A and B are shown apart, each in its own frame.
Chain A
Amino acid sequence: MSTESLRPERQSIGSLPEGEAARQNVSSRQRRGKIWQGILLACTIFGIIILLMLAYNIVNDAFGGIGVQYAVEEEDLTDGRPLEELSQAELIAILETNLRSRVLKNLERERPLAERSREELIDIINDEIIKPEVVAVYSLSEFLFDRPTIEAELRKSHPRAEIEFKSWLSWDFIVTPMSSNPVEAGIRTAILGTLYLLWLTMLISFPLGVGAAIYLEEYKNDKPFDERIPAGRWMNNAIQRSAGLIETNIYNLSGVPSIIYGILGLAIFVRALEQFTSGAVFGYADPTTANGRTILSAALTMSLLVLPVVIISSQEAIRAVPGSMRQASYGLGATKWQTVWKIVLPNAMPGILTGTILSISRAIGETAPLIVIGASTFIVTDPTSLFSKFTVLPLQIYNWTSRPQPEFRAIAAAGIIVLLVLLLSLNAAAILLRNYLRSKRVST
C-alpha cells in the first residue's frame, strides 16, 4: 500500500504488474522457460537417440538368423557323428558312396582323394553333398524375439529348412575376397584398397597441405623481390595478391561437394592423364588395370578433396605456436626457414598430424567421388601397386546396400561395422599420437 503511494505517477505511461500479479507473471514466465528448456534438451537427446537407432539398425542386420536348407542332413551321412571327428578313410568312404562316379573321377583327376587333407575332404562333402543353401534371412530382433512366427513362415515355404544363428561379420568375411554369392562374399579386397588409398592420400596431401599452410602463415607477407625495381615491386604485389586469393579460394573449395571432385578426377586423372595414372608411361602393364581407373587416380582425387581441410587445420596448428618463440629465434639471427623448420614445425606437429589424420579419415568414408571416377565394385584380386584396379569399403557397402536381396543388406551392415571400426581406430590413433608427441616435447 504505502510503497505504491511512494512511487511517482506511473499510470499515464502504462503499468507494470505489481504484487500478486507480478509474482504470477514471473512464475508463468519461469514455467514457459522450463518447457522450452525441456524442448531444447529433447533436441539434444534426439541426437543420442539417432546414434542409438543407427547402432541398432546396423547390429540388427549384421547379426541374425538364416533359414538353411540342406540337400542331405549331416547326421544321415555319418550316423549322428560330427564330420570333424571322422577319420580320413571314413570321409573318403562317404564321398565314394554319395557322389556320382563322374564327379568322383573328376576330383580324383585333379588330385587323388587319398592325398587330400581332412579339411579339404570336409569342404568337398559340404559343397557337393550337404549343399547348404540360405533360403531366408532374419534380423537379430526377429531371430531373438519372433522365433515362432519366423519358424512357422519358414516351415510353410521350405519345410526342410532350419533356422540357425548367423553372424555376417566374421573372420572369414574379413579375409576372403569378393564373391557374387553373398554368403561367401568377403571384404578383404575392399579393406586393402581402403588402406592403400589412405596411405597414398596421406603421402600426397600431407606435404602439400602443410607446405601451403606454412606459406600462408609464415611467408604470406614476405617481399622476396627487390622493392627498388618496378618489376620487383610488381612481382611482390602479385605474390601478395595471390596469397589473399589462395586463402579465399581454399575456403570456397572446402565447400565444393565431393562429387564435383569426382568429376574433376574423372576428367583429369582418369582421362587426360591416363598414360600417367595407368602406369603406361612407366612401361607398367598390370593385367588388371582398367585404363586410368587406378588407385593412383583415386588417391590424387582424394588428395585434392582433403587438401583444403588439411591446409586449414594445419594453419590453425601453426598459428597456435606463440609468436614469442619465433621472435626469440629471429633475435638470435635465424633465417625464416631455420625458424620454421626448427621452432615452428616441431611445435605445431602434434596439431598438424592430428588434424591431418582426422581430415583424411573423413575422406576414407567418402564414396561419391570414387563412384564417379569409376572404381570397380567387383574385383577379387588384391591391389598390388599404384596402378591396380581397386575397390574400397564404402563403395562395397554402397553396392551391397543398393541390392534388394536381404543377404546383401546383411553383409552391407557387416561391412559398415568394419568401416566404422577402422575410422574409430584412426581417430583413436590420431589422439594417441598427439598425446604422445605432446608428452615427448614437454619432457625433453
Chain B
Amino acid sequence: MADQAQAKAEQGAALAVSIPQTIDLRKRPRIGESIIQTVLFICGFISIFTTIGIVYVLFQESLSFFADPAVTLFEFFTGTVWQPRIGEFGILPLLNATLVISSIAMLVAVPLGLGMAIYLSEYASERARAILKPVIELLAGIPTVVYGYFALTFVTPILRGIFGNDVVSVYNMLSAGMVVGVLITPIIATLSEDALSAVPGSLRQASFGLGSTRWETAIKVVVPAALSGIFAGGIVAMSRAVGETMVVALAAGASPNLTWNPFEPAETMTGHIARISGGDLSYGSIDYRSIFAIGLVLFFITLALNIASRRIVRRFREVYD
C-alpha cells in the first residue's frame, strides 16, 4: 500500500508532460487580458461621462435660456417673481420654498435621527437593535411617492385639524417639510450611528471610570468624538432634502410663492421642474429651457453640500484608529 503510494509520488514528475514546461520567462502579449482591462476601464469611465453629460446638458440649455431676451442673469438670481407666462423668471421664490421646506425637514430629522442613533449605539440591547434597525431600513426603503401620498392625505388633514382650515392651505410647506424630514431621518440615523459606533470603547470606559452616567458619557464624550461624522451625515441629509421631488410636488402646491409662512403653498425648484416637464413640453420653448437653469442651480447646491460632507469626513477622520 505504502509502496504503491510511493510509486505514485515517484511518477509525479511525469505528470507535467502536458503542462507547457519551458522555462521562458519572457512576457508575451496577453491580448485578452488587455482587452478586458480596457473594457473594465471604460465601465468605470462611464461615471465620468455621466458627470460630463450632466454638466454639459445643464450648461448648454441654460445658455440658450439666458440668451433669450426675456431673461437676464441678474433678474434670474434677484427677481422675486417666477411667472413664465408673463416673462418673469426670478428664481428666488423657488429657492426660498426649497430652503423653507429643507429647514423644516432638518428641524424634524436632526433631533429624531440623532436621538435614534444615540439610543441605538449607546443604550439599545442586541434584541432592541434587531427590531429597530429594520424599522429604520424600512423607513428608508419606502418610495418617496408614498411619502408624498402620506403628506397630502394624512399629515395635511391633521395639520388643518389642529390649526384650522382657514390658516392651513390644502397644499402647504409645513406638511411637505415634516414628511421630507421623516424621509431623511434614516439617513441621519444610520450615518450618525456609524460615527458613534466608530468611537472606541476605551473612551467610554474612561468616562464611566470617572463616575459618569451613561447619558453624560454619551453626550459629553461619545457625541463630541463623533461630531464630524454626525455633521457630515447631516449635510448629506440636507442635500437629499433639497433634491427631494415627489413629496413637495404632491403636498407643497403648484404655484411659485415667495413666503416664509409654512402654512402657505409654495413651489420648490424640484417641484417646479416636475410640474413643467410633466405637462406637454415643446422642446425649445422657454419653459423647457428654464428647467435646465433651475436644474443647474439645484445641481450646484447639492454638489457643494456633498463635497462639504466629504471634506469634513476626510479632515477629521484619522483622530481615532
Contacts and interface: CB of A to CB of B under 8 A. Distances in A.
Let me know if chains A and B touch directly in the complex, using CB atoms closer than 8 Å.
yes
Contact of A367 (B36, B58, B143): B143
Interface in B17-59: 30, 32-34, 36-37, 39-48, 50-51, 53-54, 57-58
Given A362-B141, A416-B149, 14 more contacts: A44-B116, A47-B132, A215-B37, A252-B306, A255-B240, A257-B244, A259-B273, A260-B243, A267-B292, A336-B33, A368-B246, A368-B270, A398-B246, A416-B145
Nearest to B306: A255
Contacts, number: 260
B299 interface: yes
Interface in A207-255: 207-212, 214-216, 219, 222, 224, 239, 242-243, 245-246, 248-253, 255
Nearest to A364: B143
Contacts of B45: 242, 246
Nearest to B185: A47
A337 B152 contact: no
A98 interface: no
Given A47-B136, A268-B57, A367 B246 contact: yes
Given A365-B145, A371-B274, A401 B47 contact: no
Interface stretch (A48-56, A185-193, A280-288): A48-56
A200 interface: no
A374 interface: yes
A357 to B, nearest CB: 12
Categorize the interface residue count of chain A. Answer: 35 or more
B298 interface: yes
B145 to A, nearest CB: 4
Interface of A: 26, 29-30, 32-33, 36-37, 39-44, 46-48, 50-51, 53-54, 57-58, 61, 207-212, 214-216, 219, 222, 224, 239, 242-243, 245-246, 248-253, 255-264, 266-268, 271, 304, 307-308, 311, 335-337, 361-362, 364-368, 371-372, 374, 377, 394, 397-398, 401-402, 409, 412-413, 416, 419-420, 423, 427
Given A40-B123, A263-B295, A420 B142 contact: yes
A261 to B, nearest CB: 8
Given A40-B123, A257-B270, A307 B53 contact: no
B150 interface: yes
Interface string B249-268: 11000000000000000000
Given A39-B115, A57-B150, A245 B305 contact: no
Nearest to B243: A257
Contacts of B249: 368, 371, 398, 402
A266 B277 CA distance: 10
A208 B119 contact: no
B162 interface: no
A245 B123 CA distance: 40
